[in-house]
């Protein structure tokens, strides 16, 4: 080989090892740089005996591992966000200062005090005060939960702003990488920056990526909506929920067209916020509202069957659950509906009301579908019975010409009136229980208005020899005054008994005018009369007599107060009492918080393991780089010696001429 060839070999080797030293130095200098990916020079021998060149500088990155980390990061941040809000709600509902259960204990405790001494006006005032405190607790807890909704709205707006900034950076880096690759350079640092942006994006939302041959990467969210395609980002935005203006949804703008994708996106902070709002916050508001609804209705109904301190019929204790405002607030019409509509929801049977919302969709002007969101149950004309007006669950009446619909399901009746008629695509949201906890209030403000006594009284003849007992109760809560309670029978009434030849007992009711009502005696079976009922138990004798009369002057009577007190333990909400149901709601929230915590911990563990694996593959190892530094330095020095040898040979050659 000529000295020139030897010189060329040395020069190429010198340049190649100098580049290798630079790459190693770059690795060492970036050992503490977050997101830096280790680089490796790739030596290639030239054909024949023509030396060596650096063919490429490899970026030691595992694309599959990076995508796994992005997915783990999205899952971890979603669970972490969900957990934080669920823990806050759990503490709010279980805290003694904010718990409904604690306030109910105080309420029923004050009621028991009134039961013990119904004549005491201070006892009655204490009960009213505790009723007001319980109402305030319902209102405050509902308001605090709704404040979480405001926080979620704010977090969604800030997350959307962060996502838009990140997606813009990704699009800019796509352009820089495309230009760099087109010019033949190695954009390792640009690729590191883009991967760092993608990892930052995973904290906010789940996504998928598609690598392009030009070096660009496309990012998709939801069901394939393009967040970044090449050099063009599609901005996200927050929009008001179609029917509920208190909640923000996530939408994407593609070529000026805005589409709501809230039901499609998941993962990251955005996914955690939306999942918590749908599965916990809204559900808890519905459950709390149902408790308030059943409580207010049960208390009102029993209180109206009593007699107050002044001998008047009992009125409402709490606000009417079917007030005009309450009925209207349960019905929401989407803003994009083609027809304008007014409507309301009337609660017919609180025991059948469920803690969920419903969506009504019109497929045509005379065809609709009602969807129960808790379980996806659907009703339409083929599954409902046409009846005008509907009087039982599962019935409806629809006049497509006038745009009037009345539908009864799950213990409530929905009434809608549109103008001029229903239009295809019209959507309505029905929330039977959502607002009840915020709407509940006390009606009674005076101790004398408390109806703790029963309007009717039973007295037993002292000469009775049987074991029979008699109780009487009002059944018509809308009675106007005590004189009308007994209907056509003029008080006092005398209850007596007769027996036939075989000893079968019958009862006889005789009023002051001599009018009688008779029937066969059945122990424990109510004798239903107009506005009231009589129950006879045990075994009365034929000679026994009982007198039923108006409870005039019965301010010391506590029988209706006892019935009000018994409601504390009545299984009136899906087989549970008020406080038991509240405890179930608190337990459900606590369980969801615990599950979210476990999910976040497991996601964090997997994320940390994958990051450690990536660090082992892509991170800088100083010991390894130091060894390479010595290796390339020695090769560089040897290359210099090769050049020196070529120069010596050339000088000797010149001297020999």
pLDDT at 484: 59
Whole-number pLDDT of residue 479: 67
Residue 419 confidence (pLDDT): 78
pLDDT of 27 over the 80 cut: no
Q: Of residues 475 and 234, which shows the higher confidence score?
A: 234
pLDDT of res. 38 = 84
Which tens digit of pLDDT belongs to each residue from 567-585? 999 999 999 999 999 999 9
* Rounded Cα gap, residues 617 and 640, in angstroms: 33
Quote the mean pLDDT of the chain: 89
pLDDT in tens, 636-655: 887 787 778 777 776 777 77
| Helix (H) or strand (E) run with residue 294 in it | helix 282-303
**44: pLDDT confidence band, cut at 50, 70 and 90?**
confident
Look at residue 490 and tell me whether its pLDDT is greater than 80: no
What pLDDT band is residue 316 in, cutting at 50, 70 and 90?
very high
- With b for 16 or more beta-carbon neighbours within 10 A and e for fewer, the 341-363 pattern comes to bebbbbbbebeebbbbbbbbbbe
**pLDDT (tens digit per residue) in 320-332:** 999 999 999 999 9
- Residue, of 587 and 20, whose pLDDT is higher: 587
Pair 320, 304: CB distance under 8 Å: no
Contact 62, 618 (CB under 8 A): yes
Note the pLDDT of residue 475. 81
Strand pairing class (257-260; 248-254): antiparallel
Higher per-residue confidence, 621 vs 278: 278
**Mean pLDDT, to the nearest integer, of 533-557?**
88
pLDDT at residue 32 greater than cutoff 90: no
- pLDDT tens digit string along 116-137? 999 999 999 999 999 999 999 9
Q: Does position 5 have pLDDT exceeding 70, yes or no?
A: no
pLDDT at 349: 95
343 pLDDT more than 80: yes
Per-residue pLDDT tens for 363-389? 888 889 999 999 999 999 989 999 989
Could you give the CA distance from residue 322 to residue 330 in angstroms, rounded to a whole number? 10
Q: What are the tens digits of pLDDT across the range 443-466? A: 998 999 999 998 888 999 999 999
In 3D space, the residue among 180, 184, 182 whose CA is nearest the CA of residue 192 turns out to be 180
CA dihedral (101, 106, 108, 110) in degrees, to 10, reads: -170
> What pLDDT digit, counting tens, does each position of 93-103 carry?
999 899 999 99
């Amino acid at each position: 080989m000529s000295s020139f060839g030897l010189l060329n070999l040395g020069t190429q080797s010198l340049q190649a090892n100098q580049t290798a030293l630079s790459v190693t130095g770059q690795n060492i200098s970036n050992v503490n740089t977050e997101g830096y990916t280790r680089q490796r020079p790739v030596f290639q021998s030239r054909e024949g005996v023509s030396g060596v060149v650096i063919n490429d500088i490899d970026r030691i990155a595992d694309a599959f591992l990076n995508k796994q980390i992005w997915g783990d990061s999205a899952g971890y941040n979603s669970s972490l966000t969900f957990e934080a809000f669920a823990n806050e709600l759990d503490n709010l509902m279980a805290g003694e200062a904010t718990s409904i259960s604690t306030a109910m204990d105080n309420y029923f405790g004050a009621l028991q005090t009134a039961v013990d001494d119904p004549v005491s006006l201070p006892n009655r005032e204490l009960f009213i005060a505790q009723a007001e405190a319980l109402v305030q607790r319902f209102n405050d807890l509902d308001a605090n939960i709704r404040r979480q909704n405001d926080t979620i709205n704010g977090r969604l707006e800030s997350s959307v702003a962060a996502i838009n900034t990140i997606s813009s950076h990704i699009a800019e880096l796509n352009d820089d990488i495309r230009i760099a690759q087109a010019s033949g350079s190695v954009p390792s640092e640009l690729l590191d920056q883009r991967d760092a942006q993608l990892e930052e994006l995973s904290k906010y939302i789940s996504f998928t990526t598609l690598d392009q041959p030009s070096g660009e990467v496309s990012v998709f969210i939801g069901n394939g909506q393009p967040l970044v395609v090449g050099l063009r980002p599609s901005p996200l935005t927050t929009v008001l929920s179609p029917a509920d203006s208190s909640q923000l949804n996530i939408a994407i703008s593609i070529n000026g067209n805005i589409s709501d994708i809230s039901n499609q996106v998941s993962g990251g902070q955005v996914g955690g916020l939306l999942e918590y709002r749908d599965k916990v916050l809204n559900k808890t508001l519905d459950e709390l509202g149902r408790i308030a609804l059943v409580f207010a209705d049960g208390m009102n109904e029993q209180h109206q069957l009593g007699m107050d301190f002044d001998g008047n019929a009992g009125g409402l204790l709490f606000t009417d659950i079917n007030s005009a405002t309450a009925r209207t607030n349960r019905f929401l019409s989407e803003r994009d509906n083609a027809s304008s509509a007014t409507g309301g929801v009337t609660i017919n049977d609180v025991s059948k009301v469920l803690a969920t919302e419903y969506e009504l969709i019109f497929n045509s002007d005379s065809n609709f579908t009602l969807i129960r969101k808790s379980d996806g149950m659907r009703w339409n004309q083929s599954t409902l019975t046409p009846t005008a007006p509907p009087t039982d669950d599962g019935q409806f009446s629809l006049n497509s010409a006038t745009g009037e619909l009345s539908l009864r399901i799950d213990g409530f009746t929905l009434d809608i009136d549109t103008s001029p008629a229903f239009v295809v695509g019209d959507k309505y949201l029905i929330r039977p229980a959502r607002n009840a906890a915020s709407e509940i209030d006390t009606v009674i403000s005076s101790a004398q208005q408390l109806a703790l006594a029963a309007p009717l009284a039973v007295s037993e003849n002292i000469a009775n020899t049987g074991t029979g007992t008699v109780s009487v109760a009002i059944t018509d809560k809308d009675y106007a005054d005590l004189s009308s309670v007994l209907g056509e029978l003029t008080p006092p009434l005398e209850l007596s008994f007769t027996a036939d030849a075989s000893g079968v007992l019958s009862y006889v009711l005789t009023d002051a005018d001599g009018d009688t009502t008779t029937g066969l005696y059945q122990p424990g079976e109510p004798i239903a009369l107009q506005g009231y009922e009589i129950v006879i138990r045990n075994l009365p004798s034929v000679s026994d007599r009982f007198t039923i009369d108006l409870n005039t002057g019965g301010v010391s009577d506590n029988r209706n107060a006892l019935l009000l007190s018994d409601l504390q333990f009545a299984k009136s909400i899906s087989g549970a009492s008020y406080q038991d149901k509240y405890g179930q709601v608190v337990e459900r929230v606590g369980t969801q918080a615990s599950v979210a915590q476990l999910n976040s911990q497991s996601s964090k563990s997997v994320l940390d393991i994958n990051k450690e694996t990536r660090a082992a593959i892509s991170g800088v190892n100083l010991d390894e780089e130091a060894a390479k530094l010595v290796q390339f330095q020695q090769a560089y020095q040897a290359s210099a010696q090769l050049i020196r040898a070529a120069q010596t040979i050339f000088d000797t050659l010149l001297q020999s001429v």
